[in-house]
Amino acid sequence: MKKNLFYKIFFSYLIIICTSFLLLALFMRDEIKDVLTSQIETELLSYAKLIDQTSPEKASERLSEVAQTSRSRITLINAQGRVFADSESDVSKLENHLNRPEVQEARLKGTGKAVRFSNSLGIDMLYVAVSVKSGTAITGYIRLARPLHDVQTVIEKVCQYILLTLFVVALISLLIALFFSYRLYEPIKAMERFTERLREGKAAGTIILDTADETKTLADNINYLVGELRDKINIANEEKSKLMTAFTSMNEGVLMINAQGVIEFVSPVLSNMLSVRYEDVCGKTIMEAFRSIDLQKAFLEFKSRSENVNREIVLGGTEPVILSVSISGVHGYPEEEKTMIVFHDVTRLKKLEQIRADFVANVTHEIKTPLTAIIGYLETIKNGAINNVEETKKFVDIILKQAERLNRLVEDLLIISNIEMKETKLNFNDVSLSAVITNVIALVEAKAKSKNIAIHNNISEKFAPVKADRDKLTQIFVNVLDNAVKFTPDGGRVTIDAREEGAFRVVSVRDTGIGVPGDEIHRLGERFYRVDRSRSRDLGGTGLGLSIVKHLMIAHGGRMHIESQYGRGTQVSLYFPITPFQTS
Amino acid sequence: MSEKKHTSKHYEMELQEIKNNLIYLGALTENAIHLAMKSLTDRDTAMANQVIANDYEIDKMDKEIEEKCIKMLALRQPTAIDLRFITTAIKITGHLERIGDMAVNIAEKVVQLNEEPKLKPYIDLPNMSSIVERMVAKSLDAMIKKDLQLAEEVRRIEQEVDDLNEQIFRELLTFMMEDSKSIHRALLIMHVSKNLERIADHAQGIADMVTYMITGENVRHLAKDEN
C-alpha cells in the first residue's frame, strides 16, 4: 500500500522533472552554440578587418601578432586560391584553398563562414573568410580559423549544471513524494485497519484522524455509517431477544418454514417438547422431520387455501403427544412466503378430559348396574313373587348384596374424595410393616387358599417401621394384596418384599398374575379404570382399589409404582418416605 | 448462469418432492400396520375395516411415486447418488406398497377373528408387532437420515422377529392340539404372525436398499445368506 502510493507519486514527479530538463537541455544546447558561434564570427571578422588589406606583404608581417591576439589561425589567400601566408602552417605545404566553402562564400558575398571538423586538431573549427578587393576586383582572401573550444566547454558546463539541478530536484521530489505518500497513507491505513476489524466482527470504536482533508471526511462518513449500523444491529438484537424471550416463556412451540418447505427455525420450547422423539429438525421438510400424515395434510391445506389452519394432531408412536397445531403465514418477506406453525401440547388436557368423561360414564354405569338389579328384583317381588316366601328370600338376598355393593362403591368414592379434599386426618405413628402385613395376609388367606395361591412374606420383623396411619396402611395393603390374589390364576404365587431405597422404604408385592399391557400401566390409578372390563367386574370390586391406594400413598408423602409384563405378572411397589412431610 | 441455477433448483425440488412423497407413503403404511394390530388387540372391527378401506391411498401414492421417478429418469438423467436414490425410491415404494397390502391382510383376518370369541390374551403378538413397527420406522428413518447404522440395526432386529414367529407358531400348535375348535382361530392368528414376519422382511429390504443408496454396495443377498 505504502510502496504503491509512494512510487506513484515519486515516479510521476520524476518523469515530469526529467522530461522538462531534457527538453531544456536540448533547446539550450543549440541556442548557446548558435549565439556563441555568431559572437566568435563577429569577433573574427573584426580581426580580419584589422589586417592591412592593401598589401599582402605588410599583412604578412603582422600576421603572427594579430593571430596571437585573436587566438586564431590566419591564412592569407590570393585571388587564385593559393596560400601565400599562414600563421601556423608552412605555406608551401598547403594546397589551393579556393574550393573551401568559406572562401567561395566570400568570393560571392564578401564574407563567408563555415564550421568544419578539423582532423588535425580533432575539434570543430570555425572558418571565416573575407575577400580583399581593390576596386571591384578581388585580389585575395583573408581567412581566420578558431577552434570552437569555448563553445564546447560552455555547453558541457551548462549540461553539467542541468544534470546537477536535475539530481537535486529529483532528491527534493523524492522527499516530497515520501511526505505526501505518508500523509495519505496513514489515514487510509487507519481506515483500512478499522474496516478490517469491523469485518471480523470485533468492537471497532471510531476512527480518529488528525487530518483535515478529504480523508477526514471519508473517515467521518465511515464513523457515521458504523454508528448507524451498530444502532440497527442493536435494535435488531433487541427485537430478537424480545422475540426469543416470548418464544421461550410461552407454552406453545413455534416452527418456521420457508418457501421451499424447509424448517428454518424451531423455538426452544418446541425443541424441548419434541427432543425426546425427534432430533434436530432444522433444515428438513416437515415430512422428513415428523413423518406425520395429519401434519402434512394440514400444511398442504394451508398452502392451497392460504388460510389459517387449526388442527389437532397426534405425534409420536408409542408415547403419543397430542398437539393443537395452528398454521399461519408470515408476512413481511416480499421475496418468499414463510409459514409459521404453533404447537400447543394438549396431551394433559386431553387426558384429563378423557378421565373426566370416563369417570362420569363409569360412575353412572357402576351405580346403574346394582340399581337395575335391585329395581328388577323389587318389581318381580311386587308383581306376585312376594307370595312365594322362598323365592322372595332369595331375591331379597340378592337385593341386599347389590345394595351393599352400591354402598361399598359410595364409601370408596367418599374415601377418595375425602383424601383428595384433604379432609382425611392421618394419625402418623411408627408402624411395623411386618405386623400390618401379617394381619392383612390373614384377611386374604382364605381367598388365596381357595385358588391355591401361595403368599410369601419376606419382610423381616426387624425391618424399620414406617411413619404412617395404621388403619390407612392396612387399607392400602388390603387393596394391593386383594388385587394380587384376584388377578393371579390358580396355583400362582404372591411375594412381598421390603427394602430401603434412597429416602424411601419400599414394599413391593409381586404376583404371577395376568399382568397389564404396557400402554395401560399409567392409567391404573384412575378411578374405575379396568384393563379388562368384563373380567374384573366378575371378580368383584368397585374399580376404585388402586385409585384409593394411589391417593393414600400420596397423602403419606409417598407414591405407588407399577411394573408389569402382560401375561407374566405385576409388581406393585409402594414408596414410603423415611422422613414424611406432615400433611395438615 | 441464472438459467442454470433455476434448472438445478427445480431439479432439487423435484428430488425433494419424491423424497417427501416416499416418507408420506412410509407414514401411511406405518399407520396401517399400527391400526391393523390395534384393531386386533382391541377387537375393533370398524378400525380393521378402515385399514382395508384406506389401502387405496397407499396404492395411489405408490403409483404416483413410481411415475415421478420414471419421469425424473427420463427427463433429468440423474447421476451418481441421485440416480441411486431414484432407483432405490422405486424399489422402496414397492416394498412399502407390499407392507400396506400385508396390513390389509392382517385387518381382514382381524375381521374374521372378531366374529369368534377370543382364543387367548395376545402377549407375543403385540410384542412382535411393536418390534416390526419399530423396524419399519427405523428403515424409514435410515432412508431419511441416510444413516447406515440404522439400516444395519434393522437387519439385526429381523432375527428377533423370526424367532418370535417361531414361538407363536409353537404356542398355537399346542392350542390346536388341545382343542380342535380353536384351529380356525389359531390359523388366523398364525396368518397375522406370518404377515408380520413378512413385513419385517420388507423392512429389511428397505434397509438394504438404503445401504445401497448410501454406499452403492449391494448387500441384499449377502445379508440373507449370512442369516
**Contact, A451 vs A512, CB < 8 A?**
no
Residues of A in contact with B133 (CB under 8 A): 317
Among A261, A291, A567, whose Cβ lies nearest the Cβ of B140?
A291
pLDDT at B2 (0 to 100)? 36
Answer yes or no: do A566 and B126 touch at CB < 8 A.
yes
- Give whole-number Cα distances, A90 to A22, A80, A85, A125, B1, in Å: 45, 18, 8, 19, 96
Cell numbers 409381586: residue: A510
pLDDT at B4 (0 to 100)? 38
| B1: confidence class by pLDDT, cuts 50, 70, 90 | very low
pLDDT at B5 (0 to 100)? 42
Average pLDDT score over residue span A406-415? 84
* Positive or negative: CA dihedral A423, A427, A430, A433: negative
pLDDT at A111 (0 to 100)? 82
Percent of chain A with pLDDT over 90: 1
Residue of A nearest to B42 (CA): A532
pLDDT at A580 over 70: no
pLDDT at A327 (0 to 100)? 87
**Contact, B110 vs B122, CB < 8 A?**
no
pLDDT at A425 over 80: no
Residues of A in contact with B19 (CB under 8 A): 285, 287-288
Answer yes or no: do A566 and B34 touch at CB < 8 A.
no
Which chain A residues touch B if contact means CB-CB below 8 Å?
260-261, 284-285, 287-288, 291-293, 296, 317-318, 514, 517, 566-568
pLDDT at A505 over 90: no
Chains A & B: contacts with CB separation below 8 Å: 45
The total of other beta-carbon atoms located within 10 Å of residue B100's CB is 29
- For residue A457, give the C-alpha cell: 412374606
**Contact, A138 vs A108, CB < 8 A?**
no
**Contact, A576 vs A467, CB < 8 A?**
yes
Which is more confidently placed, A584 or A311?
A311
Q: What is the pLDDT of residues A199-250, one digit of tens each?
A: 887 766 777 777 777 888 888 888 888 889 889 999 999 998 998 888 888 8
Average pLDDT score over residue span A354-366? 83
Among B20, B27, B121, whose Cβ lies nearest the Cβ of A514?
B121
Residues of A in contact with B24 (CB under 8 A): 287, 293, 296
Counting Cβ atoms within 10 Å, is residue A14 exposed (0-12), middle (13-18) or buried (19+)? Answer: middle
Measure CA A540 to chain center.
66
The total of other beta-carbon atoms located within 10 Å of residue B62's CB is 21
pLDDT at A532 (0 to 100)? 66
Among B16, B27, B137, whose Cβ lies nearest the Cβ of A285?
B16
Measure CA A95 to chain center.
103
Residue of B nearest to A280 (CA): B145
| B3: confidence class by pLDDT, cuts 50, 70, 90 | very low
Average pLDDT score over residue span A377-390? 83
Identify the H or E element spanning B181: none
Which is more confidently placed, A523 or A243?
A243
Q: In sequence order, which residues have a C-beta less than 8 Å from that of residue A329 and are 6 or more positions away?
A: A302, A306, A308, A337, A338, A339, A340
Which is more confidently placed, B127 or A120?
B127
Answer yes or no: do B126 and A261 touch at CB < 8 A.
no
Of A81, A113, A109, A103, nearest to A94 by C-alpha is A81
pLDDT at A53 over 70: no
Answer yes or no: do B20 and A287 touch at CB < 8 A.
yes
Measure CA A106 to chain center.
99
Closest approach of A412 to chain B, Cα-based (Å): 29
Residue A562, sorted as left (phi over 0), alpha (psi -120 to 50) or beta, turns out to be beta
Distance from C-alpha of A577 to C-alpha of B19, rounded to nearest angstrom: 54
Average pLDDT score over residue span A83-94? 76
Closest approach of A173 to chain B, Cα-based (Å): 51
Among B13, B27, B126, whose Cβ lies nearest the Cβ of A292?
B27
Average pLDDT score over residue span A330-355? 81
pLDDT at A418 (0 to 100)? 83
Q: At what angle do helices A389-420 and A545-555 cross, to 10 degrees?
A: 30
For chain A, the average pLDDT equals 81
- For residue A507, give the C-alpha cell: 414394599
Instruction: Identify which of A3-12, A206-215, B41-50 has the greatest average pLDDT.
Output: B41-50
pLDDT at A558 over 70: yes
Answer yes or no: do A296 and B24 touch at CB < 8 A.
yes
pLDDT at A533 (0 to 100)? 60
Chain B interface disruption, residue of A531, A566, A570, most B CBs within 10 A: A566
Answer yes or no: do A293 and B137 touch at CB < 8 A.
no
pLDDT at B126 over 90: no
pLDDT at A465 over 50: yes
- Give whole-number Cα distances, A347 to A272, A312, A315, B115, in Å: 15, 10, 10, 34
Q: In sequence order, which residues have a C-beta less than 8 Å from that of residue A549 and are 6 or more positions away?
A: A476, A479, A480, A525, A560, A572, A574
For chain B, the average pLDDT equals 83
Distance from C-alpha of A192 to C-alpha of A180, rounded to nearest angstrom: 18
pLDDT at A350 over 70: yes
The total of other beta-carbon atoms located within 10 Å of residue B139's CB is 30
Average pLDDT score over residue span A125-146? 81
